[in-house]
Structure 1
């Protein structure tokens, strides 16, 4: 089992460009697994973790409801936003500046064969990161992601999650609101859940801006500990 995860910081990049990049990495792992089974070999499969920030974009999962996008194409243009129907689970969400988006592209057979455990560990990564800022976060029953005050009328989501998996290989991932312009969530019914709010780390801390690089280091620390993995530079 290969527990090294190749980490890449991509900066701010177009959503479609990185979606295609994910697909390439995802397919590379699948191809190696298929080759191993066909040829009776055991060549190690790679694992990847991408951090990226996207320009304003709305994405709708394969089981999502188009009516949860509350603006039309012209209004999208006025807000300098784009829209994509994509192949992850979940409903509609928003990505934009001030948000840390993490895409783990892992062969889970290098770790464990349990997609539910995978999602819970992604959530726990963010929960532990928030704890370092004195924020108690948790889960909401039946709803993937990380929430604050989930069992109260003040429930609000701070990190959305949606993944795709095939042959135990994952793609897509999480979107953690750090310094995000929450006004963009007014144009959708986030994750298709009515009556619950969205928040960000800077809002919860009552500050104008949280140092994003500091947050990223905390996420990486908890991610590698929970997955019992080492984050390493990418190899050719």
Structure 2
């Protein structure tokens, strides 16, 4: 099993361009797996993790409800935001500047073949990272992602998640609000869950800006420990 993960930090990148890149990595892994099955070969499959910061964009999962986007295309244009219907699970979510988006494209045959465990490990990666900032983040029963003050009137989501998997190969992932402009969340019903607030790490810490690179380092540390994986940084994709 290959437990090495190729790490790429794409910086600020268009959503559609990143989605296409994800799809190409995803398909290349599937192609190897199909070849191994058909031809009896034992070629090694690769694993990838992409970090990226998107311009303002709203995405709707395949089972999502379009009515959870509360504005029309004209308002989105005024806000400088785009919109895509995509092939992950979950409902509507927002990506934008000040948010760390992580896209693990993993062959889970290299780790463990359990999607439930995979999602819990992604959540735990974020929970342990936020603990280093003094925040008691947790899961909310029946609601994927990472939350604060679960079970109280002040429950608020700080990290959204949505994945796709085929033949145990994953794509899409998590979006952690670090220095996010929370006003953009007012244009939708986040993840289709009414009556729940959204927050960002800088708001919780009462600071103007949190160092994104420091958060990424902590995410990688905990991801590596949970998945028993080693990261191999590669040249930034252009």
1:135 corresponds to which residue?
A: 135
Give every structure 1 segment of 4 or more consecutive aligned residues whose post-TM-superposition deviation is greater than 4 Å: none
Partner of 2:11: 11
- Could you list the per-position Cα deviations for residues 9-53 of structure 1 after superposition, in whole angstroms to 9, with x for gaps in the alignment? 000000000000000000000000000011111111000000000
For residues 128 and 104 of structure 1, the distance between their equivalents in structure 2, rounded to whole angstroms, comes to: 18
Query: How far 1:161 sits from its partner (Å)?
Result: 0.0
CA distance in 2, matches of 1:134, 1:73: 39
The answer for the alignment partner of 2:73 in structure 1 is: 73
CA apart distance, 1:114: 0.1
Question: Which secondary structure state, in structure 1, belongs to the residue aligned with residue 117 of structure 2?
Answer: helix
The equivalent of 1:23 in structure 2 is: 23
Aligned partners of 2:79 and 2:195: how far apart in 1?
A: 24
Residues 108-165 of structure 1: CA deviation (Å, up to 9, x unaligned): 0000000000000000000000000000010000000000011111100000000000
When the two structures are superposed, what TM-score results if normalisation uses the length of structure 1? 0.99
> For residues 109 and 192 of structure 2, what CA distance do their matches in structure 1 show?
31
Q: How does 1:57-136 map to 2 (within 5 A)?
A: 57-136=57-136
Q: Secondary structure at the match of 1:152?
A: coil
2:74 and 2:208 map into 1 onto residues whose CA distance is 31
Once the two structures are TM-superposed, the CA of residue 233 in structure 1 deviates from its matched residue by 2.6
Q: Secondary structure at the match of 1:80?
A: coil
Give unmatched runs, 5+ long, in structure 2.
none
Aligned to 1:150, the other structure's residue is in SS state: coil
The CA distance in 2 between the partners of 1:103 and 1:232, in whole Å, is 15
Secondary structure at 1:97 match in 2: coil
Q: CA RMSD in A?
A: 1.0
The 3-state SS of whatever aligns with 2:121 is helix
Q: Deviations over 1:186-226 (max 9, x none)?
A: 00000000000000000000000001111010001111111
SS at match of 2:80: coil
Give the corresponding residue for 1:225.
225
Cα distance in 2, alignment partners of residues 167 and 234 from structure 1? 25
Kindly state the Cα deviation for residue 97 of structure 1 after the two structures are TM-superposed: 0.2
**TM-score, reference length from structure 2:** 0.98
SS of residue matched to 2:176: strand
| DSSP 3-state at the match of 2:17 | helix
Give unpaired runs (5+ residues) of structure 1: none
Q: Distance in 2 between matches of 1:126 and 1:115?
A: 17
What residue in structure 2 maps to residue 204 of structure 1?
Answer: 204
Between the aligned partners of 1:233 and 1:150, the Cα distance in structure 2 is 36
